[in-house]
Every structure is written in structure tokens, then in C-alpha cells.
């Protein structure tokens, strides 16, 4: 069981907007930044969103993040076939003094 | 451009110690303000943080693995290492090394390509 909760799957058609949720608690999302990673098949995770809603250089503005209380979400607009990947949320947990991850959401582009 | 490369045996016997090294290039592991760490991913499963270290040797470990994990740093070789003792099949995973965005409470910004370690007799 992952400390952060994500839906196991999500899907959308090209051009659509999809959102992926991530819920946690006061000791992680509620008191620390939330981060999102994209993992394409057979590759290492890639940082997609940092500090709740910031995009590293090179990440398209189709990707956006938000956080409210103990929950967060990743939105992908203008869905493209190359967005098909696993997405993970992550946060520092003050109670554990360590990093916790969501179980991952597999995004399928139909 | 910072690059990290994991190295070590791909096969470890049950009850033995898994040992991996991460070699950093394109930057110094002694750079102030950056933590370095290890994450693993069992086949077909999610990500699990193992632990992180500062160049001074200060460490943070996942409480669920703490009794079996040792992370160390060798600044002269620009490397840091992972030792996981008393391994079982449940430790079979792709092991990634990475660099935090800054302090240990910031995310992993840079990742190695990962190395698969299988625990089997």
C-alpha cells in the first residue's frame, strides 16, 4: 500500500484534457511540496512538476499541477500519444522523515 | 550536463548483501546543498525511496529498510554507494541513483538509467 493514493489508470483521446489525482495526509502533501514524475516504458522517471506547480525547462505547458490541502492533481491538456506513460506523485513525509510515492497511474491514450 | 551511472552485480543470492555504486559525472558530488540518493522499483510495481546522503556523510533512510541499508559516499571518486543486507526475492528491483533538487526534502531531479538486480539462488 502506497502512502499517497493515485488511481491505477486513466485514459483519454488525443486532444482531450485528463487529470490524475493524488491524495495524502497532513504529514506529507498537507505540509510539503508535491512533485510529479512521468515514466515512459523502460526508462527512468522524469521530473514533470516540482514544488506543486512548477515545470522544469523543456516540459510542455500542456502539463500543469495544483495542490489543495492534502490532495493534488496533474492535468494534461491537448493529450498526445507520446503522453502514454506511468505518472507518479511524490512528497516528503514529516512523520516518516522520508520520501513517499503514489502507486502510479497508467495513462492510456485511446 | 550531470550524469549518474549505477553499477554492480545483476544477480545476488538470498541472504547476501546487495552492493551498488553510483558514479557521478558532469558535476561534483561535493557540491554544497545537494543530497544524493537511491530509489528502487520492483518489476511492474511503483517507486520506493531507499535513502539519501549528503557529501559530508549525513544520511536519511527509509524506516522500513533502515535496519538493512547503508549508504556511503566517496568524494575522491565522485561516487556514492548502496549496501542492502540479508536480501530476499522481494528486493528484486531496478535500482536507480539520483540527485535531489537541493536538500533531502526536495525531489530527485536527476536520475541514473537504473540497474536491474535480481535476488535468486
Identify which of A33, A45, A97 has the shortest CB distance to residue B60: A97
CA–CA distances in Å: residue B11 to residues B24, B67, B91, B115, B120: 23, 22, 11, 11, 7
Residues in chain B closer than 8 A to A47 (CB atoms) = 107-109
In chain B, which residues have their Cβ closer than 8 Å to the Cβ of A27? none
Best mutation target, A6, A40, A88, A98, to test chain B (most B CBs within 10 A): A98
* Angstrom distance (rounded) from CA A24 to CA A6: 9
Determine contact: A36 vs chain B, CB below 8 A. Answer: no
Beta bridge partner(s), residue A101 = A90
Q: pLDDT of A27-68, one tens digit each?
A: 999 999 999 999 999 999 999 999 999 999 999 999 999 999
At A28, list the grid cell: 506529507
Q: How much is the pLDDT for B43?
A: 96
Residue (of B100, B103, B82) closest to B36 by Cα position: B100
Cβ distance B107 to A88 less than 8 Å, yes or no, reads no
* Cα–Cα distance, B60 to B56 (Å, whole number): 12
Question: Residue A82: helix, strand or coil by DSSP?
Answer: helix
B-interface mutation test, from A43, A55, A99, most B Cβ less than 10 A away: A99
Residues of chain B contacting A88 with CB distance shorter than 8 Å = 46-47
Using pLDDT thresholds of 50, 70 and 90, give the confidence band for residue B33. confident
> What's residue A76's pLDDT?
98
Q: Is pLDDT at B31 greater than 80 in this prediction?
A: no
pLDDT mean across residues, chain B: 96
Q: What's the CA gap between A55 and B98, in Å, rounded? A: 19
- Per cent of chain A over pLDDT 70 is 100
pLDDT > 90? residue A103:
yes
DSSP three-state, residue A23: strand
The Cα A100–Cα A3 span in angstroms is: 6
Amino acid at each position: 500500500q502506497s502512502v499517497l493514493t493515485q488511481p491505477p489508470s486513466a485514459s483519454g483521446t488525443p486532444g482531450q484534457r485528463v487529470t490524475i489525482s493524488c491524495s495524502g495526509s497532513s504529514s506529507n502533501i498537507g505540509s510539503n511540496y508535491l512533485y510529479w514524475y512521468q515514466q515512459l516504458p523502460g526508462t527512468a522517471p522524469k521530473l514533470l512538476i516540482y514544488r506543486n506547480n512548477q515545470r522544469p525547462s523543456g516540459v510542455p505547458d500542456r502539463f500543469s499541477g495544483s495542490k489543495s490541502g492534502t490532495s493534488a492533481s496533474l492535468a494534461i491538456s491537448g493529450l498526445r500519444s507520446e503522453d502514454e506513460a506511468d505518472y507518479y506523485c511524490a512528497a516528503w513525509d514529516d512523520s516518516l522523515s522520508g520520501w513517499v510515492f503514489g502507486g502510479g497511474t497508467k495513462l492510456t491514450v485511446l | 550536463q550531470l550524469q549518474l551511472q549505477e553499477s554492480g552485480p545483476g544477480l545476488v543470492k538470498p541472504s547476501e548483501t546487495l552492493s551498488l555504486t553510483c558514479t557521478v559525472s558532469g558535476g561534483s558530488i561535493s557540491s554544497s546543498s545537494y543530497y544524493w540518493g537511491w530509489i528502487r522499483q520492483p518489476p511492474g510495481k511503483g517507486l520506493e525511496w531507499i535513502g539519501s546522503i549528503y557529501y559530508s556523510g549525513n544520511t536519511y533512510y527509509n524506516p522500513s529498510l533502515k535496519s538493512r541499508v547503508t549508504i556511503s559516499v566517496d568524494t575522491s571518486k565522485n561516487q556514492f554507494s548502496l549496501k542492502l543486507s540479508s536480501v530476499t526475492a522481494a528486493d528484486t528491483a531496478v535500482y536507480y541513483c539520483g540527485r535531489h533538487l537541493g536538500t533531502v526534502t526536495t525531489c530527485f531531479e536527476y536520475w541514473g538509467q537504473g540497474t536491474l538486480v535480481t535476488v535468486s539462488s
